[in-house]
Amino acid sequence: MSTTALELSGITKRFGSFTANSDISLSIRKGSIHAIAGENGAGKSTLSNIIYGLVQPDAGTLYVDGNPCRFSSPREAIGAGIGMVHQHFMLSGTLSVMENILLGDERQGLLWPCRRSKARQDITDIAERHGMQLDPDAMIENLSVGEEQRVEILKLLYRNAQLLLLDEPTAVLAPAETRKLFSSLRSLRDEGRTIILITHKLDEVLDLADNVSIMRKGEITATLPCSETSKQELARLMVGRNVVLQAENPPHTPGAPLLEIDELSLQAGNGRPRLEKLSMTIRKGEIYGLAGVEGNGQSELLQLLWGMLPDNARTTGSARLDGKELTGLRPVDIAALGVSCVPEDRHRHAAIGQFSIEDNMLLGRHREKTFVRGSGFDSRSREQLSRDITTHYDLRTGNGTNQAFESLSGGNQQKIIAGRELSRPALRLLLLGQPTRGVDIGAIELIHKKILEARQAGVAILLISTELEEIITLSTRIGCIYKGKIRHEFSPEEVQEGRTAPGTFSESIGMHIT
């Protein structure tokens, strides 16, 4: 019996003149966790889609358990024991956990009822065995992001998948959910299953994987045991140069208060208050980091400050920008005051996937006088913006900026949003919601640099992030938010101490947000 779960030989895939995968050969040991790491746009997702049958290669061969295979659809890959969890989950919110797991695998045929009681028991047994407890009858729309991911994995295990492909599995998970996921993945490996982890998060690679392959510009540049490498070496192999793993954050004296929030409360619908007498001040040239477990009011605060609250929201208190009340204003009116926002969900609130890359670079800024000419747009200014963002943010578009925004990797999409918002003229207040979510280590270095440049220029910045290291690295002050209220603030001196003793700092934050 073969000890190799999957072997790739000479896999090549082109999209027009762009080569996404070039002559890739790779062997993945059965019963191991094998990471494939690389920058956004390196070709990782294309390769995983080939393995799963979503994309057919132009050249090369796949071998599963030593047998040559060529999948023309995911159904054929599933039949060969391969399953995939995509970065953006593919679940129906109006169906239950069990119904989503059974969808497409009714087994008895369309005209015969599923044996629901046995299916429920099988799903419960699998979940308990791997520490993924879920109520089979719970509705997907009521689950957390981490629970939704467990449903996706259970769907594969119910189909007895032996090789699991996970594409950026922690991109939208909080740290506690990530730890639960890793525990489940180790349990699956110990049971003899093989896991391919597509990621750019090097700490997670070293913590979880047995071996790692590095992709760069569509090629495998190195494969090595995780026990014999370091984060610094992997970053260098990924990017092709030495990478600054922690942004240099020189001391900076903030100016006068710019954003003043006073006893701000928010109630949406009939649930508990999302914000409860929240008070905070952000000064010019200051980065205020908001730390806390997701779901404690960060998203609602960002929506309020950017004028995106639902119609049924009720607010009390105030949020003033240099004395001007922001609550109740539209995003276009807030932007006119010198405010810019990188929202938490770029697909819902920052981009239109079917529009071109160039159109998305202009989205939300199309009213600026620079880009208006008569009843249309000034093509020269528009093209200049496109060139600036492409150059300054190292954008990897493959076939230029006229292709659809949705054709780009998640990291390149995020760089476009960051570039568009950080380059607004007369910027005074910058709202950042998870600014490096789904972004590789080279792009994180670049975005952090641009954020610090904005601070040095006197911009007041609100930073919301689930990445504690990001909060510690960039912030001038840190506020801990819990149940919609700031429970504690850390001074600049305490933040500096946190850099030298992150364990102490993490524990201190944990006391206020758990």
Tens of pLDDT, residues 205-221: 999 999 999 999 899 99
pTM of the model: 0.71
What distance in Å separates the CA atoms of residue 193 and residue 469, rounded to the nearest whole number? 32
Assign 41 a pLDDT band (cuts: 50, 70, 90).
Answer: confident
Tokens of 307: 């004028």
Residue for token pair 């929506």: 303
Q: What is the mean pLDDT of residues 278-305?
A: 90
The tokens of 490 are what? Answer: 């850390």
User: Given 3.20.20.70, 3.40.50.720, 3.40.50.300, 3.40.50.970, which CATH number is that of 4-239?
Assistant: 3.40.50.300
Q: CB–CB of 279/337 below 8 Å?
A: no
Across the chain, mean pLDDT equals 86
Instruction: Please determine whether the domains at 4-239 and 247-338+426-514 fall in the same fold group of CATH.
Output: yes
| pLDDT bracket for residue 441 (50, 70, 90) | confident
Question: Stretch 480-495: mean pLDDT, rounded?
Answer: 80
- pLDDT score for 372: 84
- Integer Cα distance of 99 and 110 in angstroms: 14
| Residue 176 in tokens | 């506690």
Q: Where are the domains of the chain?
A: 4-239, 247-338+426-514, 352-425
Cβ count within 10 A of residue 324 = 11
- pLDDT digits 0-9 by tens, 359-390: 999 998 888 888 888 878 888 888 899 999 98
CATH superfamily ID and name for 247-338+426-514: P-loop containing nucleotide triphosphate hydrolases (3.40.50.300)
Pairing of strands 219-225, 211-216: antiparallel
> What are 82-112's pLDDT values in tens digits?
999 887 778 888 888 888 888 876 554 443 4
Q: Yes or no: say if 91 and 148 are a contact pair by the CB < 8 Å rule.
A: yes
Contacts 24+ apart (CB under 8 A), 465-468: 465/289, 465/290, 465/291, 465/432, 465/434, 465/435, 465/436, 466/174, 466/175, 466/293, 466/294, 466/434, 466/437, 467/436, 468/175, 468/291, 468/502, 468/506, 468/509
- pLDDT given for residue 377 in this prediction: 84
